[in-house]
Structure 1
Amino acid sequence: MKRVPIIQGEGIWNLIPQRPPIVMVDSFCGIEDDCSYSALTITADNIFCQGGELQESGIIEHIAQSAAARIGYIYLQRNEPVPLGFIGSVDKLILHRLPKVGQELSTEITVIQEVFDITLISACVSIAEGVIAECRMKIFLDKK
Structure 2
Amino acid sequence: MNREAVIQGEGILNLIPQRPPIVMVDSFFGFEENRSYSGLTVTTDNLFCEAGRLQEPGIIEHIAQSAAARIGFIYTRQGEKVPLGFIGSVDKLKIYNLPEAGMKLFTEITVVQEVFDITLISAQVKTEEELIAECKMKIFIKKE
Query: Could you say what secondary structure the match of 2:46 adopts?
Result: coil
Could you state the TM-score of these two structures normalised by the residue count of structure 1? 0.98
TM-superposed CA distance for 1:2, in Å, is 5.3
Count of residues in correspondence between the two structures: 144
Query: Could you say what secondary structure the match of 2:57 adopts?
Result: helix
Could you state the TM-score of these two structures normalised by the residue count of structure 2? 0.98
After superposition, what is the alpha-carbon deviation per residue over 1:1-58, rounded to whole angstroms, capped at 9, x for unaligned? 5511000000000000001100000000000111000000001100100110000000
Distance in structure 2 (CA, Å) of the matches to 1:121 and 1:84 = 16
TM-superposed CA distance for 1:82, in Å, is 0.6
Moved over 4 A (4+): none
Aligned to 2:92: 92
Distance in structure 1 (CA, Å) of the matches to 2:24 and 2:47 = 10
5+ unaligned residues in a row in structure 1: which ranges? none
Q: Which amino acid aligns with 1:7?
A: I
Matched, 1:69 2:69: yes
5+ unaligned residues in a row in structure 2: which ranges? none
Alignment root-mean-square deviation, CA: 0.8
Query: Could you say what secondary structure the match of 1:59 adopts?
Result: helix
After superposition, what is the alpha-carbon deviation per residue over 1:52-76, rounded to whole angstroms, capped at 9, x for unaligned? 0000000000000000000000001
Aligned to 1:60: 60
Query: Percent same amino acid at aligned positions?
Result: 69
TM-superposed CA distance for 1:129, in Å, is 2.3
